[in-house]
């Protein structure tokens, strides 16, 4: 274990979208800008900033069209947004985004409840959306949710996630992020799933999107790292969860992931001190303590220890 | 990694002592009894219930002499208490305890600040205390703190912890629990330290005592498990920290450890549902949310997923 750690891994930040989407109280667009600017200062170069899902589904992100003109991505930084359909793609295009993300679930029931579509219908929709996005020069990332388990169905056949991943990559998505949406995965399950996916697809086509609902996110990330995954989704201060998955709360905290990685000599290009600051901004934005650990322990404690 | 998981590991519960010792507000003795009874109901058979350290040092545990007569260990359950010196041992004996724990730090400065003694003086004291305890038919466990790092000195030479561990085992301590007191360890460091200790001592003589200050406790436990450690300290709901270590907060949460282990087929003899209940008792006792995850997610969410 940990015999061949990589020099570098890549972190995809999801806090402004996956992190904020299930906040109950409205959050001002200006506060979202502050969070995103803090993330950029920390060195994050790939940030999912909002969603073009219907405001009826995710009221918290209804200000996407207002938010995007307020953001300017410095050179080397890519902002992306979730796009459920052709209408979302239109809005993404109008906002000048160069990257979008499409999303669906491995489990039929979760996909139905989360997107109001069958998985077949989601794939049909994405065939058009992805093709149209690519023609317009955009890059497209994809999420497959509930790969480790579904809040409605329980265990999910890995063959479903494999087949969906294959189809999303064939459509031209540059990467598929595999989600433990309800944070139910154990390291052993992560090993089994991870080996399976890495035997079918090159690592650069895959990412891990882990939730910490039962405390296992970082341990699962470690197993993924050991298996050969090099792309990890994370959310500063552990902001977030999935609004449609009962019991789901807490993404893998970016600063905790980066603390672990940098302490093992794995470079992420991120500045831990500024990530801690971004975590504090995230807490100010939502007005409460967030579960990530390193932003609470602080950087001075890292130096003294 | 995870190629040879054991059938079973043993969990040593520290919440009533390590968990409560740094609580600022006084906690009623009756509330401590409720917590300990909840832990017993969850199946924990080794519980550190209090400390005979001077009330001046740890006022929260000043009621040790009052608490112990209120507890009755069912068959197969062992209660223990921290004993700093001969006076502590006398009190432990008077209370009818069959097991005590001695404690010191691998780093000189932390030992001085935590116990007001040099490590040499601690070892001298324990030679007498342990010998006297063993003559009286007691079992003695030992802690070595700051093995992964010291809040005052930074890095700690592993040779110091190795030598102290060797001496504590030679005195007759049945097990030495190695502490990442300030939760600074990364999985790679845990691998290095773990390999070193397991090359010198049999696994049953060692335990891991991990703190989650920077979110790495469960990942470190996983690495320890993979290396061959079979004994883990934990604290329900993640109650606790070290009152003398700046920035130290949060033991590895018992229910999170058990969720991970049982999900990988590793038996602990513990009832996860009752551990969740014990976590809720712990929250009621301290009057605030605690960081452990599974007691928040709840057991029904485990079943549905």
Mutate to test the interface with B, among A150, A185, A305 (most CBs of B within 10 A): A305
Nearest to A304 among B151, B188, B227 (CB): B151
Give residue A276's Cα distance to chain centre. Answer: 19
Distances in Å between the Cα of A169 and the Cα atoms of A42, A46, A51, A127, A143 are 30, 19, 21, 11, 11
Give yes or no for B292 touching A (CB within 8 A): yes
Query: Which pTM was predicted?
Result: 0.95
A19 within domain boundaries: yes
- Exposed / middle / buried, residue B24 (Cβ in 10 Å: 0-12, 13-18, 19+): exposed
**What is the crossing angle of helices A108-115 and A119-135, to 10°?**
60
Give yes or no for B149 touching A (CB within 8 A): yes
Q: Under an 8 A CB cutoff, do A259 and B214 touch?
A: yes
A98 within domain boundaries: yes
A109 within domain boundaries: yes
Q: Under an 8 A CB cutoff, do A222 and B187 touch?
A: yes
A5 within domain boundaries: no
A15 within domain boundaries: yes
Distance from CA of A265 to the nearest CA of B (A): 9
Q: Say how many domains are in chain A.
A: 1
Range of the domain at B18: 10-304
Query: Token pair of B155, please?
Result: 């890095």
B245-277 as b/e: b if 16+ CB within 10 A: bebbbbbbbbbbbbbbbbbbebebebbbebbbb
CB B181 within 8 A of CB B189: no
Residues 6 or more apart from B175 whose CB is under 8 A from it? Answer: B141, B142, B204, B205, B206, B207, B231
Closest to A103 in 3D by CA, of A128, A131, A87, A125: A125
Neighbours of B4 (CB within 10 A): 6
A231 within domain boundaries: yes
Q: Under an 8 A CB cutoff, do A263 and B297 touch?
A: no
A226 within domain boundaries: yes
CATH classification of the domain holding B59: 3.20.20.70
Between chain A and chain B, how many beta carbons pairs sit less than 8 Å apart? 153
Place of tokens 């609580």: B23
Nearest to B301 among A215, A227, A247 (CB): A247
A43-71 as b/e: b if 16+ CB within 10 A: bbbbbbbbbbbeeebbebbbbbeebbeeb
Mutate to test the interface with B, among A5, A215, A250 (most CBs of B within 10 A): A215
Residue A42 to residue A36: CA distance in whole angstroms: 10
Neighbours of B131 (CB within 10 A): 13
pLDDT (tens place) for every residue of chain B, 305 residues total: 899 899 999 999 999 999 999 888 899 999 999 999 999 999 999 999 999 998 888 999 999 999 999 999 999 999 999 999 999 999 999 999 999 999 999 999 999 999 999 999 999 999 999 999 999 999 999 999 999 999 999 999 999 999 999 999 999 999 999 999 999 999 999 999 999 999 999 999 999 999 999 999 999 999 999 999 999 999 999 999 644 444 446 899 999 999 999 999 999 999 999 999 999 999 999 998 888 999 888 765 554 43
B36 within domain boundaries: yes
Q: Is the ipTM of this complex over 0.85?
A: yes
Give yes or no for A152 touching B (CB within 8 A): yes
Query: Token pair of A276, please?
Result: 């801690």
């Amino acid at each position: 274990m940990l015999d061949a750690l990589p020099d570098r891994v890549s972190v995809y930040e999801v806090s402004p979208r996956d992190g904020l989407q299930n906040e109950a109280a409205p959050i001002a667009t200006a506060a979202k800008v502050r969070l995103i600017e803090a993330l950029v200062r920390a060195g994050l170069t790939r940030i999912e900033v909002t969603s073009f899902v219907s405001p009826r589904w995710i009221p918290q992100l209804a200000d996407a069209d207002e938010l995007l003109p307020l953001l300017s991505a410095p050179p080397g930084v890519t902002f992306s947004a979730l796009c459920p359909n052709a209408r979302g793609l239109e809005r993404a295009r109008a906002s000048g985004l160069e990257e979008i993300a499409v999303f669906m679930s491995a489990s039929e029931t979760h996909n139905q409840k989360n997107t109001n579509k069958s998985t077949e219908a989601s794939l049909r929709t994405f065939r058009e959306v992805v093709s149209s996005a690519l023609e317009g020069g955009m890059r497209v990332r994809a999420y497959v949710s509930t790969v480790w388990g579904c809040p409605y169905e329980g265990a999910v056949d890995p063959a479903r996630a494999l087949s969906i991943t294959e189809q999303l990559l064939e459509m031209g998505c540059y990467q598929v992020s595999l989600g433990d949406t309800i944070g139910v995965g154990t390291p052993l399950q992560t090993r089994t799933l991870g080996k399976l996916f890495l035997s079918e697809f090159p690592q650069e086509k895959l990412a891990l999107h882990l939730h910490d609902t039962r405390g296992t996110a970082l341990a699962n990330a470690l197993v993924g790292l050991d298996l050969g995954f090099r792309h990890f989704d994370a959310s500063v201060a552990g902001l977030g969860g999935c609004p449609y998955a009962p019991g789901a709360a807490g993404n893998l905290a970016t600063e905790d992931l980066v603390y672990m990685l940098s302490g093992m000599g794995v470079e992420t290009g991120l500045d831990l001190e500024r990530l801690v600051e971004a975590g504090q901004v995230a807490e100010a934005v939502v007005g409460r303590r967030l579960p990530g650990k390193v932003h609470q322990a602080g950087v001075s404690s890292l130096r003294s220890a």
